[in-house]
Amino acid sequence: MIDPKHLRNDPEMVAANLARRGYQFDVAAYKDLEERRRQLQIETQELQNERNQRSKSIGKAKSQGEDIEPLKAQVTALGERLESCKSSLDEVQQQLEQWHLEMPNLLDEQVPDGEDESANREVRRWGGLPAFDFTPRDHVDLGELLGGMDFEVATRIAGSRFVALSGDIARLHRALIQYMLDLHINEHGYREVYVPYLVNVQALIGTGQLPKFEEDQFRVEHDPLLYLAPTAEVPVTNLVQDRILEDSEMPSRFVSHTPCFRAEAGSYGKDTRGMIRQHQFEKVELVQVVRPSESWDALEALTGHAETVLRRLGLPYRVVTLCSGDIGFSAARTYDLEVWLPGQQRYREISSCSNFTDFQARRLKARWRNPETGRPELVHTLNGSGVAAGRCLVAILENYQDADGRVNVPEALVPYMGGKRLLGE
């Protein structure tokens, strides 16, 4: 949520910033609503004070033997006006709250302008692209040859955009997750957490998935209403919901493996082949909660932690800065890691690393106690995939294949595969 002070004090600045995203902020309408709120608040306070004064007068008049009925009638009338005014104020405040919840975060000045992913700016590349003396297969064909990737049976069980893994491919998928957890815990200083796979409405509002992205969520009709977590970012970031962290707890780094569930609304016809865009997938998620002065350095570090996974696995990738038209709703700046897929002959996203500044923290009421002032202040939150396990599996299959459709196991994963070095032998 954007700082309301920015909206009240400089709505033109907010409008100009959000216009870079293509979001039209009606400054005049907002000012009118804010002025209406201010007037109602003043009127409510005045009526409250007047009613209190008249109520006190009743006791005094009664003690002096005066007729108190006219005063009581006045107090009743003031009470009715007060309740009407409070009701109007509540309605205006709810309108403002809804407006605030539907507004995306302010963009950092370093975010490049652009309408879509074609304007994303490449920052760096790592690793040479593999040279094959044969036409490389994609992961779907490789999965069929290896006998461990079945889309047909998954479709019978749950519908399209699901997959059933088995044998060495299922083990490789599990090995990837275990390897990434160990790397981030042992070398990058993250604390492992296990969190619910179901989240409530407030948790999704806190991280920005609701109300804007309702159609992307899988609802569970329950009392209270629950949703399948679209990403571990939601439950992990909510660990600091409505908390005041001590300075000794800052920064906090969390890592978690969770399945993710997304309806993929609006993606009809996109990536219908294979595992690239699924309703259910696995990620190892990195979340950081930091002091505001440290969040931009934290973004670089977090991105580097995700890059380390790809480098240790020998997977060529590039890093891009997302442009204003492609960046996520809650992010102030985002780096995408895109891994090379020989089967598609292109780079595809495998991790998004974002700094949300205080946007999520304001929704979550997540704060830390500044030792210099002794006062609670909003934290900054960040998250990134470290990395998406399914897409990493795809990248390994395609980059490590041989002409016979077998797949070499990256050296870093051999211990997690019980010493196995080749799939398909």
Helix (H) or strand (E) holding 256: strand 252-261
Residue 244's pLDDT is: 98
pLDDT given at position 74: 80
The catalytically annotated residue of 50, 214, 249, 349 is 349
Q: What is the mean pLDDT of residues 97-106?
A: 95
| Model pTM score | 0.93
Residue 70's pLDDT is 75
**382 close to 302: Cβ distance less than 8 angstroms:** yes
Torsional sign, CA 7, 9, 11, 14: negative
* pLDDT band at residue 64 under the 50/70/90 scheme: low
Q: Kindly name the residue from 37, 253, 262, 363 that is annotated as catalytic.
A: 262
Q: Is 170 left (phi over 0), alpha (psi -120 to 50) or beta?
A: alpha
List the catalytic residue out of 20, 54, 277, 291: 277
The answer to the question of whether 262 is labelled as a binding residue is yes
The per-residue pLDDT for 51 is 80
Quick check: 34 pLDDT over 90? Answer: yes
* Residue 312 bears catalytic tag: no
Q: Which helix (H) or strand (E) holds 87?
A: helix 69-102
312: burial class by Cβ within 10 Å (0-12, 13-18, 19+)? middle
Residue 266 has a pLDDT of 63
Is 411 marked active-site?
no
Report pLDDT for 48: 86
CA-based angle 300:304:305, to the nearest 5? 120
For 293, the token pair is 């002065």
Instruction: Please give the average per-residue pLDDT across 263-283, as a whole number.
Output: 84
pLDDT tens string 369-393? 999 999 999 999 999 999 999 999 9
pLDDT, greater one: 60 or 141: 141
What is residue 358's three-state secondary structure? coil
pLDDT at 283 over 70: yes
**Which residues lie closer than 8 Å to 238 by C-beta, 6 or more apart?**
199, 203, 206, 207, 364
- The response to whether 263 counts as a known ligand-binding position is yes
CB atoms within 10 A of CB 305: 24
Domain ranges of the chain: 26-102, 117-423
> Is 232 annotated as contributing to ligand binding?
yes
pLDDT at res. 281: 96
How many of the other CB atoms lie within 10 Å of CB of 41?
Answer: 14
pLDDT in tens, 157-176: 999 999 999 999 999 999 99
Question: Annotated binding residue at 285?
Answer: yes
Q: Is 103 helix (H, G, I), strand (E, B) or coil?
A: coil
CATH fold of 26-102: Helix Hairpins (1.10.287)
User: What per-residue confidence (pLDDT) applies to 63?
Assistant: 67
pLDDT > 70: percent of the chain: 97
262 is catalytic: yes
- Ranking 28-42, 45-59, 83-97 by mean pLDDT, the lowest is 45-59
Q: What is the mean pLDDT of the chain?
A: 94
Ligand-binding site membership of 349 (annotated): yes
Summarize pLDDT for 346-374 with one digit per residue, the tens. 999 999 999 999 999 999 999 999 999 99
Q: Which residues of 206-243 are buried (b: 16+ CB within 10 A; e: fewer)?
A: bbbbbeebeebbeeeeeeeebbbbbbbbbbbbbbbbeb
* 5-to-2, 8, 10, 44, 73 alpha-carbon distances in Å: 8, 5, 8, 22, 41
pLDDT of residue 265: 63
264 known member of a binding site: yes
350 in a labelled binding site = yes
Specify whether 333 is catalytic.
no
pLDDT greater than 90 at residue 336: yes
For residues 341 and 347, the answer to whether their CB atoms sit within 8 Å is yes
Residue of 21, 256, 391, 398 with catalytic role: 391
Q: State residue 44's pLDDT score.
A: 92
3-class SS of residue 311:
helix
Residue 270 — pLDDT band, cuts 50, 70, 90? confident
For residues 57-85, b (16+ Cβ closer than 10 Å) or e, as one string?
ebeebeeeeeebeebeebbeebeeebeeb
385 is in an annotated binding site: yes
Active-site residue (options: 256, 295, 330, 352)? 352
Is 21 among the catalytic positions? no
pLDDT band at 246 (very low <50, low <70, confident <90, very high): very high
351 is in an annotated binding site: yes
400 contacts: CB under 8 Å, gap ≥ 6: 407, 408, 409, 410
The domain over range 117-423 is classified in CATH as 3.30.930.10: yes
The average pLDDT across 311-318 equals: 98
